Every structure is written in structure tokens, then in C-alpha cells.
Amino acid sequence: MLYYLTGILILTVGIASIFLVNELIQIGHFNHLARKQIEMENVLVAGANGTTGKKIVTLLKNSQYFEPIAMVRKKEQQEQFEKENIKTVLGDLEKDVSHTVKDMDKVIFAAGSGGKKVVEVDQEGAKNLIDASKNANIKKFVMLSSMGADNPEQAEDLKDYLKAKHNADEYLKSANIMHTIVRPGSLTNDAGTGKIELQDKLNKKGSITRDDVAQTLVRSLHDDAAINRTFEIIEGDTLISKAMDANS
């Protein structure tokens, strides 16, 4: 009888232990998710409704490190993103944008006027957001620029646009914010390859897909990636992560 009761007791303790271990595993799992959620950084994407901007937002949405906040100018654009469970903020780069960087950790500037307001948007709009980011202690500002912005006077085409990008880039460099400035070649809508050629100065022309530009911009958000660096990219044979690591 004693052996029988002892067996039942051992079995009961064993079952209870299994439930306890399972409970601890579940708690640990949820704690891990909670920590993961806390560690994710909010990234404001200026120009989120543009062709490249949308690709950036999608990459961030699928990232385990970042959460995108799409900065848009119109209510209908806001509704479009929110249908996809993407957070948004209304903002106009030609006006006060200090509210757009509230609770943000990092910023990607991928906005553009399409050649219509290069000074107002591509230059002064960028400066406006840089100032707001500095005042909000943003950790890192990633700028989508363009090849040719280093010396716009030598450009055959798009001289006004490249001047605006040059001025915005120089303003960011002097703003005392951790930053990365990415200068791609001509953009295409082809499918990305995940491979690029990257140098501070490539000394040659070339094209690159918007997919690969978006990936490079998102990779630049990491704290250890291309700190205070300016570089040019075109399509190439080196994986984006390796190309950036080799030049960081």
C-alpha cells in the first residue's frame, strides 16, 4: 500500500513538474517577445508614399529590429498605410515637422519633389527634418541622395536637383547627428538582386534597382553600419551586407 501511495505521489509530482516547466517556457517565450518588442526601434520614413519609400516601409515592416512610421501628406495616403497595419504621421516638409519625430528613434529621408520643388522639398524640406531630428535627439538619420551630388556643377543633367541634394547632404554632415548618406546611380524598377558595388566614389556611372537601394538604406539604420559615411552604389556582384561591412 505504501509503495502504491508513493508511486501515485511521484507521478503527481512529475505531472505537476511538467506543467510547471511548460508554464515557465511559455512565460519565457512571452518575456522574450516582450523584450523583442521593446528593443524594436521606431523609424520615420519621409517620402513613404513614393516608389522607393513604399519598398522601404515594407522592408521595415518585415524586420525584427525596426517598426516603420510612414510620413505622408494626405489623409487618403494615411488610410492606405493604416489598412496594412502600418503606423503613420501626417506631415508636410515645407512646414513645421517637429511633431513627426516625436517618439522616433531613427529617420530615413526618401522624399523627393519629382523635379517640381527641388529647393523647397529636396533641399529645404530635408533641412527642416534634419533640424527637427536634431532637436528630438534622433539616433541616426539616413539620407537617400544621388550620384553626382558631390559635384553638381559638373552635371550635364538635373543640375538644380543635384545642387539641392548636395546642399541637403552638406547640411546633414554638419548637423552633429549620426548619419549615413547613400548616393545611388540611376534608379530602375527591375527586381532587386541583393548585390551592389559600393565605394565612397565610384568614378563611373551605373544603375541600380529601387529594391536594392531600399535594402541598403534599411541596412544603414543599424548603429554599426556606415557611421557618418557617404558612399555611392550601383548594381554589382557583392551582397549588400558584405559590401557595407567591407566599407564601414
Catalogue the active-site residues.
Answer: 161
Question: Could you say which DSSP state residue 124 is in?
Answer: H
CA dist., res. 76 & res. 82, Å (int): 10
The secondary element (H helix, E strand) that includes residue 73 is none
The separation between CA 236 and the C-alpha centre of its own chain, rounded to angstroms, equals: 22
Give the number of residues written for the chain.
248
Report CA-CA distances (Å) from 84 to 18, 130, 194: 40, 28, 25
Amino acid at the residue 103: D
- Could you give the residue ranges of the DSSP H alpha helices within 174-239? 210-219
Q: What are residue 68's phi and psi, to 5 degrees?
A: -80, 145
Retrieve residue 142's grid coordinates: 539616413
Amino acid at the residue 208: I
